[in-house]
Structure 1
């Protein structure tokens, strides 16, 4: 006999992909905002002949947390499989956050950007773990 899901289980199963869809949209919107924030400083220097907005620091650390949060939310195998089409895009903002954070933390001494580096490394480790878990589950 087949198991019939209870009402609450069926609703929960339908809400999970929807929350992941919103999570992926949030990662994309935050990445676009991060890019705009990154280029706002040099643009103000070009327009007003002085830099009105400095380069990102603490807000960059917050931006870099969003992909890791999504990876954490998608830690169940069926959720990770549902994100299979978005995994390559997820690596783009992670790489960008990591490289910017590392470069400015090392060369400019902006210590708060080490949070960005740690969050990116953690998210990369989570992706690697979930991919290996999925590969072991498929065999």
Structure 2
């Protein structure tokens, strides 16, 4: 498994690694979905793009269908888990709808629903209302774990 993520995933990396033994995590602050095609090519070249890829890039920018389709296409025929976002940014809600629509069009793509878990458990989030605090990182990791289980079918 490979996880490509932003600061939400980066802050949860310890919990994710604890639940998903052997996962390769490549997460950076402020990373955006538009960066994924180049990053995927780089990881593939290094032999680090595995059969299951978790994409946690719904926080930092608007998501158009074209951008998400290019990202999914760059991953090839791998199993893809798109983690949706949560927060009070104007682009997150519409971006989550794009993720869901793209996932519906592809048999190898599923959405891991962080939005619902965070909305129902806001106490798991830090002061910014976006990033999980320490107690929330395990919940974030469980969302990813469930997404991978769904991708495995």
**TM-score (norm. length: structure 1):** 0.31
Tell me which protein shows more strand as a share of its residues.
Answer: 2
The structure with the larger Rg is 1
User: Which TM-score applies when normalising by structure 2?
Assistant: 0.29
